[in-house]
Amino acid sequence: MNVDENVPNEFYIFINELNPLTYHNFHFTGVFSSGAFGSLDMNPEFLSKYQKGSVHYLPYKPCEMDSMALSPYFLTVINDYRVEYDAEIFRKRYYQFFPSRLSAIYAFGNIESCQAVNRKYGDGWSLNSVKRFRLIDNPLNRVVRVNMEHVSLARHAYRVSALQDIDSLWKGYWSGFGSIVLELPTTDFQRKQYESGVIWEYLIEGCVQHLDHAHNNAIQ
């Protein structure tokens, strides 16, 4: 963990059953694995890299492009990947044993956090899709608690501003810092302070078991 607290006994996860793979895993096994954990048993070389904190998760690397004015569409297309790229580069440089956002299971430590997500982001995060899980014990598990609202604010900031100090943003994220404030331009050419707020989530490198599925199997 990146903060001085125990890993929760239960996790709450929004399950998207419209995704065929998610639907299959949820209904037939009740187990979800992070991306890295799905490869540990199959590839000894990957296991060694995982233990050393040297796995390379990024699928694309930036390349030099010709100097030109960037269209709004261009910035929209690359924005989310720029956010994830910067988050991953900072993690690999300073927190190499933390779960990668590009591999981890995303979970919440209590139902109140899920309710906060639902209130802020609406029907795309239906509380009816929230299920309870437990982390399956494994010495290779990695779990960190982070403020998901840092990423939400970063996505907006990357669209409207050339941030001068992105390292401070990502240091706050990976260290488990609370609310942050960024001064960003507005549509009337002024500048305004935007506060991220706080919604804690957990990044899990490991496997989680659906509690109801485990209970039913135990009864049988």
Measured CA to CA, the distance from residue 64 to residue 212 in angstroms comes to 50
Q: Is the pLDDT of residue 216 over 80?
A: no
Question: What pLDDT was estimated at residue 81?
Answer: 93
Structure tokens given for 116: 């906060």
Q: How confident is the model at residue 69 (pLDDT cuts 50, 70, 90)?
A: confident
Diameter of the chain by CA atoms?
65
Residue, of 7 and 74, whose pLDDT is higher: 7
Measured CA to CA, the distance from residue 114 to residue 108 in angstroms comes to 7
Domain positions in the chain:
11-58+76-219
The answer, as to whether pTM is greater than 0.85, is yes
Q: Is the pLDDT of residue 58 over 90?
A: yes
Dump pLDDT digits (tens) for 110-154: 999 999 999 999 988 999 999 999 999 999 999 999 999 999 999
Q: Is the pLDDT of residue 211 over 80?
A: yes
- The lowest-confidence range among 48-62, 145-159, 201-215 is 201-215
Question: What pLDDT was estimated at residue 76?
Answer: 83
Of the chain, the percentage scoring pLDDT greater than 70 comes to 97
Measured CA to CA, the distance from residue 183 to residue 79 in angstroms comes to 19
Determine the residue type at 81: Y
Q: Is the pLDDT of residue 5 over 80?
A: yes
Dump pLDDT digits (tens) for 157-183: 998 887 878 999 999 999 999 999 999
Measured CA to CA, the distance from residue 188 to residue 86 in angstroms comes to 28
Contacting residues for 92 by C-beta, under 8 A, at least 6 apart: 56, 57, 100
Q: How confident is the model at residue 217 (pLDDT cuts 50, 70, 90)?
A: low
